[in-house]
Every structure is written in C-alpha cells, then in structure tokens.
Amino acid sequence: MPTYNLKINGSSQSIEAAEDTPLLWALRDQLDMVGTKFGCGIGQCGACTVHVDGNATRSCQLQISQLDGKEITTIEGLSEDGSHPVQEAWKAIDVPQCGYCQAGQIMTASAFLEKNPNPSREEIRNAMTGNICRCASYNRIENAVAKAAEKKMA
C-alpha cells in the first residue's frame, strides 16, 4: 500500500492507505482525529467538512491520493483552545442540540467568513445551506455565524 505524506493542522503526517481511501477515514481511523464526523458518505450533509487550502471540503469524497501539497485543517486544528471566533460564537449562542453536525458547521462557517468577513444574513444562509442539522438548529447557527462575523470585524 502506498504511503502519503500530508500536512494536517500544520504537522506532517504519514499515512499508509489505498489511493482511493477517503480523507475522512484516514483522519478518523489512522490519526484518531474523530472531530470530523461521518454523516452520509456522499458529500451532501456536511458533517465531514474540513478545510483544504482554506476551502470547506467534504472529506468523505476526497481521496487521500489527491492531497499531495495541500494544507488540511480539521476541527482539531481550527484552534488549540476553542478560541476561534466561530467557536466562541457557537458557545455564546449555545448552538448545538445533539452536536453531531457542529464540527462540519463550524468548519464551513469559518471558511466562509475568511472569504466574506462581513456577510449579510442571506449570504450566511446561502453559505450554510449545504450543511444539514437533524435538530434544525438553523436559526442559532445563522445567529452564531453573524456573531462571529461581528467579532472578526471588531
């Protein structure tokens, strides 16, 4: 089996895996980074979202062989102590109910706010539409993204 050298959360990681192994399973099964969740396996729910070169990406659909030279950030790498503005806003608004989708939601929101630090409510709604929350915490998610944007602007 080939070995892949990936840069994850700022550190080099060697992973031995088949070339078509999804990044999600390399993270969870080989690196014990279980913050990235399995949801649907077809890239439609957003639970597995990570950043690849700063872009929100579904890790269940990304083959490990496609990642050479890419910067990967997982929820564990967003901030060491949970102090990223999006994480702080999530805590302040008390967003999660079950919490299962929240890592993916936070990763999508943080990538979005890097590209659009002063979004409208409609832009937030559109950016977050690809992430499913089974508990329907969408209003709190939207409010948290808006609060994080305010903090980033301050």
Percent of the chain exceeding pLDDT 70 equals: 98
- C-alpha angle 38/76/122, rounded to 5°? 70
Backbone angles phi, psi at 115, to 5 degrees: -90, -30
* Displacement of CA 141 from its chain's centroid (Å): 14
* Beta strands per DSSP E along the chain: 3-8, 11-16, 49-52, 55-58, 71-73
pLDDT, tens only, 52-75 = 999 999 999 999 999 988 999 999
Helices and strands (DSSP H and E) totals, the chain: 6, 5
The three-class DSSP label of residue 105 is: helix
d(CA 60, CA 54): 17
For residue 142, what pLDDT is reported?
Answer: 97
d(CA 109, CA 112): 5
Give start-end residues of each CATH 1.10.150.120 domain in the chain: 85-153
What DSSP letter does each residue of 30-49 carry, written as one string?
IS--TTSPPS-SSSSS-TTE
Please state which of the four CATH numbers 2.40.50.140, 1.10.150.120, 3.10.20.340, 2.60.120.260 is assigned to the domain occupying 85-153.
Answer: 1.10.150.120
For residue 101, what pLDDT is reported?
Answer: 94
Give start-end residues of each CATH 3.10.20.30 domain in the chain: 3-77
pLDDT, tens only, 88-129 = 999 999 998 999 999 999 999 999 999 999 999 999 999 999
- Please give the CATH number for the structural domain made up of 3-77: 3.10.20.30
For residue 151, what pLDDT is reported?
Answer: 82
